[in-house]
Amino acid sequence: MLLVLDAGNTNTTVGVFDGPDLVRHWRLMSERHTADELGIYLLNLLATAKIPADAIDGAVLASVVPPLDAALIEGLDRYLGVSCLKVTASLDLGITIGYGTPQEVGADRLVDAVAGVARWGSPLIIVDFGTAITLNVIDEGDVYLGGAIAPGLMTSMEALFGRTAKLPKIGLEAPSSVIGRTTIESIQAGILFGNAGLVDSLVRRIWKELGRKTTVIATGGLASVVASHSETIEAVDPWLTLEGLRLIHERNGACPT
């Protein structure tokens, strides 16, 4: 079985694959821990899922938080006895990176592209709703071009509440109208409909630059919240990144990075 980890600025997503099947997944807070703490944490997660630790025979990590990497990799080795493949632009990804400086592309963006192309082909736009909203553009011939990055929903909300003493904190639920009749409804309309509009505007601008329309898919923890209000997003796959990690491990095995 394969353990996959996507370490983001806010959340770390962990999954277990049995062959091509994602059998368990967890979304955790990204926090700095020692290798021992992380190793015990992972053992406990596996135990709750009734997955024997010795059933894990491989691991792969995509990370945009370098301070977490060494402890995660050491914890996997010490407590699960597996070497961990770390995703970088130098691996065999099965796609071409057309970015100006390939090493600057976030590992999560590359992993999304790998999984997106495998499932939907290219050209393709992948919208990832995380700490940031990233739009990743893959052109014909499976060429990763780059994209756009905007503040994520929770990031925007935290900035708003941090600067305004009188605004109440709210849940991310769509109001019945874009014309909010209460302060809460007004904030919900601005955040949800506003971000859906942001994505649609960027997608249309990308289409114009490419000279054609593409398939548009969404992933990330908040993808389903926004996608239903978008005019361009066609499908949501919340675990796309985990599938990309599996595919990259399949192509590269446990080679050193």
**Known catalytic residues?**
108
> Whose CA is closest to 30, among 170, 151, 131?
131
In Å, the largest CA–CA distance within the chain is 57
Structure-block tokens of residue 128: 């990832």
Q: What is the dihedral of CA 10, 37, 84, 130, to 10 degrees?
A: -10
C-alpha Rg value of the chain to the nearest Å:
19
Structure-block tokens of residue 37: 């703490």
- What residue type is assigned to position 52 of the chain? P
The number of beta carbons lying within 10 Å of the beta carbon of residue 217 is 23
Ordered DSSP codes for 155-198? HHHHHHHHH-TTPPP------S-SS-SSHHHHHHIIIIIHHHHH
- Spatial separation of the C-alpha atoms in residues 92 and 248, rounded to whole Å: 7
For residue 14, what are the contacts with CB-CB under 8 A and spacing of at least 6?
Answer: 3, 4, 5, 6, 25, 26, 27, 28, 42, 45
> Whose CA is closest to 219, among 246, 196, 242?
242
